[in-house]
Chains A and B, each alone.
Chain A
Amino acid sequence: MSALLQVQGLAVRYGAVAALHGIDFDVHEGEILTLLGSNGAGKSTTLRAISGMIRPSSGTIRFDGRDITGLPAHEIVGLGIAHAPEGRGIFGPLTVDENLRLGAFARKDPAGVASDRERVFALFPRLAERIHQVSGTLSGGEQQMLAIGRAMLARPRLLLLDEPSLGLAPQVVATIFRILREIHAGGTTILLVEQNASMALATAQRGAVLEVGRIVLQGAASDLAASDDVRRAYLGVH
């Protein structure tokens, strides 16, 4: 397996506060890697730095061998990295259809977009039913489906997902994770940030644990799930 995404010495500061103190990790082509950690550990910051929403203070990010550090967000999505951000980032006053069209905004292949739309509707039939609805009126689960479906319309090679389970009922979370596995089976590499560590480790092949801006543990998902530290801190096992 080759590294699709290489993060080296990534450091991010918000003013005087350091959010990431130089972290290193790779995401391999075709895997699901999950980033675990408590609130404020720097998980979302990592995703935001990769997708270009924030500029790292040092370090490099390589995607498919190319240095993308500091590129503006609207160019990075065109290279094949889609980010479904924290809080879903739905354009509430816009319709489901308009949100989906924005997902494909950077693309210039209408035929490919049309077939990807069909695929998204196959994954999330609910979105097809609500296509002309104003998206702010969707339920939380539907909004999360829209966020993921919209990200898929960029036809990403790497999908960044920030807390897709947040605030959703357990049944809906199970549906979302089932669909993530389908998306992964379709060949999309996924970098998944989650608070729900048991779901995330059951879905991912590998994981990394962030604590206050540093990676403290990295390895196969099954090893992490079996590790005493992880079990105590993130799986609620004493």
Chain B
Amino acid sequence: MTRVLQTLMDGVAVGSTYALIALGYTMVYGILRFINFAHSDIFMLGAWFSFSLAGVFGWTLAGATPPPWAAVVVLLGAMSGTAVLGYAIERVAYRPLRSAPRINVLIAAIGVSLLIENIGQLPIAFGTQPQRMPSLLPDAVLFEVSGVSIRLVDTLVIGIALGLMAALEWLIYGTRLGLAMRAVSTDAQTAALMGVPVDRVVSATFAVGSALAAAAGFLYASKYPGINQPAHATWILLGLKAFVAAVVGGIGNVRGAMAGGLLIGMVEIFGAAYLSPHLRDVYVFALLILVLLVRPAGLLGRATVEKV
């Protein structure tokens, strides 16, 4: 019973970081109908920005005791950093291609991804060595039964992720910007006729999506402190799983991305715990194939007929 509980905690913790990344894929797709393949690199940067920022304050040194507010500073710092970067990437790499064929934008995204990974490996950036994220989130064993423990850090990771998702939900359904985002995602041309500044809404979407990916990077590194070097394949794989989450939930659908992320995390962690830990990636992609066969538009997606 306790093992189920611990696996559940792990599944929700990993799943909620997938959900945070998936939101960025799905929001950008919803507005521009394009898959931002550089998004997994934004997630990677979120982890590395967090590590570097902690380094600036000396919290990465051996024996350092970061204050309780360290996590807040690092999380908000990393989120602001990637928000600005996401905004800049859209401005420089994607906006000039707004009326170009979609394949051009896709190739530009792959280019941005390679650029980030390679700049990230430079000695003046993060280098090619893995690092260890200091534990900024307080940790303790909340309770323990027959050798299985429920940890505070997992609870905090889940709490922060769900809090950010609630904040996004409020942004999209409760604010003027959110109304504009939903209008642009339905019909950008008509949204402009209403007085919605479409370009600014697109910029805001990239900034918000990138900030959420950075939060995922921070939370993931808090749970699994070994940070791989910027071009390591695990980042791509994690980003890809988050993309699968967005597709499983219904690409373009914000609540779908949240649900898809949690589902993918659960399937992966439960499969690893109860079937075989070696096949954890298999479960995720098998689920993708299954969902695409049964509901091609995703669990919460609506089937649309392409207009010709």
Quick check: A77 and B186 within 8 Å, CB to CB? no
Quick check: B187 and A91 within 8 Å, CB to CB? yes
Quick check: B192 and A92 within 8 Å, CB to CB? no
Nearest neighbor of A77 in chain B, beta-carbon distance:
B195
Identify A74's interface contact among B179, B182, B187, B197, CB under 8 A.
B197
A-B contact count (CB 8 A): 65
Quick check: B193 and A53 within 8 Å, CB to CB? yes
A177 to B89, CA, bound (A): 49
- Give chain B residues whose Cβ lies under 8 Å from the Cβ of A22: none
Contacts A74-B198, A101-B179; is A91 near B186 (CB within 8 Å)? yes
- Chain A, residues 63-87, CB within 8 Å of chain B (1/0): the string is 0000000001110011000110100
Q: Which of B159-190 contact A (CB under 8 A)?
A: 176, 179-180, 182-183, 186-187, 189-190
Quick check: B195 and A105 within 8 Å, CB to CB? yes
Quick check: B195 and A154 within 8 Å, CB to CB? yes
Quick check: A72 and B192 within 8 Å, CB to CB? yes
- Chain A, residues 130-170, CB within 8 Å of chain B (1/0): the string is 00000000000000000000100010000000000000000
Nearest neighbor of A150 in chain B, beta-carbon distance:
B194
Quick check: A73 and B193 within 8 Å, CB to CB? yes
A26 within 8 A of B: no
Contacts A53-B189, A85-B190; is A91 near B183 (CB within 8 Å)? yes
- Give chain A residues whose Cβ lies under 8 Å from the Cβ of B198: 74
- Give chain B residues whose Cβ lies under 8 Å from the Cβ of A77: 193-195
B196 within 8 A of A: yes
- Give chain B residues whose Cβ lies under 8 Å from the Cβ of A105: 176, 179-180, 194-196
A197 to B186, CA, bound (A): 32
- Chain B, residues 187-217, CB within 8 Å of chain A (1/0): the string is 1011111111110000000000000000000
- Give chain A residues whose Cβ lies under 8 Å from the Cβ of B196: 74, 102, 105
- Give chain B residues whose Cβ lies under 8 Å from the Cβ of A53: 189, 192-193
Quick check: A93 and B186 within 8 Å, CB to CB? yes
- Give chain A residues whose Cβ lies under 8 Å from the Cβ of B182: 91, 93-94, 98
CB distance from A184 to the nearest CB of B (A): 21
- Chain B, residues 262-306, CB within 8 Å of chain A (1/0): the string is 000000000000000000000000000000000000000000000
Q: Which of A97-115 contact B (CB under 8 A)?
A: 98, 101-103, 105-107
Quick check: B183 and A74 within 8 Å, CB to CB? no
- Give chain B residues whose Cβ lies under 8 Å from the Cβ of A150: 194
CB distance from B72 to the nearest CB of A (A): 34
CB distance from B204 to the nearest CB of A (A): 14
A51 to B191, CA, bound (A): 12
Quick check: B192 and A74 within 8 Å, CB to CB? yes
Quick check: A102 and B191 within 8 Å, CB to CB? yes
A105 to B195, CA, bound (A): 6
- Give chain A residues whose Cβ lies under 8 Å from the Cβ of B183: 91, 94, 102
CB distance from B97 to the nearest CB of A (A): 18
A53 to B198, CA, bound (A): 12
B side interface size, CB within 8 A: 17
CB distance from A57 to the nearest CB of B (A): 16
- Give chain A residues whose Cβ lies under 8 Å from the Cβ of B179: 94, 98, 101-102, 105
- Give chain B residues whose Cβ lies under 8 Å from the Cβ of A73: 189, 192-193
Nearest neighbor of B195 in chain A, beta-carbon distance:
A106
A52 to B196, CA, bound (A): 13
CB distance from B271 to the nearest CB of A (A): 35
Identify A89's interface contact among B180, B190, B195, B197, CB under 8 A.
B190
Quick check: B193 and A106 within 8 Å, CB to CB? no
Nearest neighbor of B182 in chain A, beta-carbon distance:
A94
A100 to B190, CA, bound (A): 13
- Give chain B residues whose Cβ lies under 8 Å from the Cβ of A154: 194-195
Most buried by A among B183, B190, B192: B190
A85 to B193, CA, bound (A): 9
A177 to B191, CA, bound (A): 25
Most buried by A among B176, B194, B196: B194
Quick check: B195 and A78 within 8 Å, CB to CB? yes
Quick check: A89 and B192 within 8 Å, CB to CB? no
A85 to B190, CA, bound (A): 8
Quick check: B193 and A83 within 8 Å, CB to CB? yes
CB distance from B203 to the nearest CB of A (A): 14
- Give chain B residues whose Cβ lies under 8 Å from the Cβ of A51: 193
- Give chain A residues whose Cβ lies under 8 Å from the Cβ of B195: 74, 77-78, 105-107, 154
Query: 3 shortest A-B CB distances, which residue pairs?
Result: A106-B195, A89-B190, A73-B192
Residues on A lying within 8 angstroms of B by beta carbon are 51-53, 72-74, 77-78, 82-83, 85, 89, 91-94, 98, 101-103, 105-107, 150, 154
Residues on B lying within 8 angstroms of A by beta carbon are 176, 179-180, 182-183, 186-187, 189-198
Q: Beyond A89-B190, A93-B182, list 7 extra A-B contacts (CB 8 Å).
A: A53-B192, A83-B193, A85-B193, A91-B182, A91-B183, A91-B190, A154-B194
Give me 9 A-to-B residue pairs in the complex whose CB atoms sit less than 8 angstroms apart, sorted by A's number: A73-B193, A74-B192, A74-B193, A74-B195, A74-B197, A74-B198, A89-B189, A91-B183, A150-B194
